[in-house]
Amino acid sequence: MAKQPKQLEVAFLGGVGEIGKNMTAIKFGDDIVIVDCGSTFPSVDDTPGIDLIIPDFAYIKANLDKVKGILITHGHEDHIGGIPYLLSECGNIPIYGSSLAVALIRHKLTEKKMDMPKMHVVKNGDVKKMGVFSVEFVSVTHSILGAFALAISYPGGTLFHTGDYKIDYTPVDGESIDLTRIAAIGNKGVTLMLGESTNVEKRGTTISEKEVGVTLERIIESHTDKRIIIATFASNVNRVQQIIRICEKVGRKVAFDGRSMVKISEIARELGMLEYMDNTVIDIEDIKDFEPQKLCIISTGSQGEPMSALTRMANGEDKSVVIGDQDVVAISSQPIPGNEKAVYNLINNLYRRGATVLYGSLEQLQVTGHACQD
């Protein structure tokens, strides 16, 4: 009887038909590579009492001897948040990702006092051999630095995984999506493309991150008599960089509030991805030594997360920041689907404390990290 030819198998373990916990297993013969291993946050309405939601690892555990590595497209929680739990159940699987993604994973594992797996830092154009697979990492633009698409070649074909991406011709860090290489991969021939679809229903193009910088600069420069508080995602290093540059230009000190904001900014500066003068950034506990109009606080909590810095401020529970009518609060993000109620409660509580609140329906304070139809 003739032996069945080997076929490419793709198993979606999360992130398809849902927001979050992205994880895909790609198998050919006796070899498997995993793309991402994310988590998602629960909703109070649907999953009360749950702290975190991760993929089902049963497929990986059943085929563990075939797994050659985990390929990380980028360092957002919905792509790396499940890694500590996967490693605790399956042992140390090699990880491949950008310098920022690897640093964020190291931090997670260190916090949990876990052993470090072999971690390989890759850059645009790197090709890694993993069993029958040959994986090329291709730079794409997203709302976090160090994002990749993946060209995964196997005997008889190539799978192209876009990762999360947008097309920004004027990125803050100057690192554009490598459209030339993506076109070359397409011209050579792609058997299967896995494309992200977050904004596939939206017409037009995604605007550049620099347009948010223009809005932030106008807000900071037009409120010279107020303290500025800007809430954004800690992982959006390019936005944090823009805010710091504006503050250095107008002579404001910057303080980070929120554990992840402090940590990611520290990691990004160590990696050379975030630049500022030594006297620009002060400790949040030292803001009392400066006049409010000379301060800008960059905080977590743009999604109204219960324990985040901005939520603590809005509830009067932050030990360093007391919100009042001397504050302008800019929420530099859009509500993630499911977070709308928490975000609007947050805005209402900030208003009640006397702050001027600026957000998406009033100002261009957020651009998506995902490509629209064009």
Residue 143 in contact with residue 172, Cβ under 8 Å?
A: no
The string of pLDDT tens digits covering residues 120-138 is 999 999 999 999 999 999 9
β-pairing, 31-35 with 23-28?
Answer: antiparallel
* Residue 348 confidence (pLDDT) above 70: yes
pTM of the entire predicted model: 0.90
Long-range contacts of 52-58 (CB under 8 A, 24+ apart): 52/81, 53/20, 53/21, 54/14, 54/21, 54/81, 54/82, 54/85, 54/86, 55/13, 55/14, 55/21, 55/23, 55/82, 56/13, 56/14, 57/13, 57/85, 57/86, 57/89, 57/90
Q: Which residue has the higher pLDDT, 306 or 258?
A: 258
| pLDDT given at position 299 | 96
State the average pLDDT over residues 352-374.
Answer: 84
pLDDT band at 1 (very low <50, low <70, confident <90, very high): low
Task: Please compute, for residue 152, the number of CA atoms within 13 A of its CA located in the half-sphere on the CB side.
Answer: 34
Higher pLDDT, 235 or 170: 235
**Domains and their CATH numbers in the chain:** 8-194 (3.60.15.10), 209-358 (3.40.50.10710)
Q: What are phi and psi of 181, to 5 degrees?
A: -70, -40
Percentage of residues in the chain having pLDDT higher than 70: 97
Residue 3: per-residue pLDDT: 61
Asked if residues 36 and 24 have their Cβ atoms less than 8 Å apart, the reply is yes
Higher pLDDT, residue 309 or 5: 309
- Pairing, β 253-257 against β 295-299: parallel
pLDDT in tens, 9-62: 999 999 898 888 999 999 999 999 999 999 987 766 666 777 788 999 999 999
How do residues 192-225 score in pLDDT, each as one tens digit? 999 988 878 888 888 788 888 999 999 999 999 9
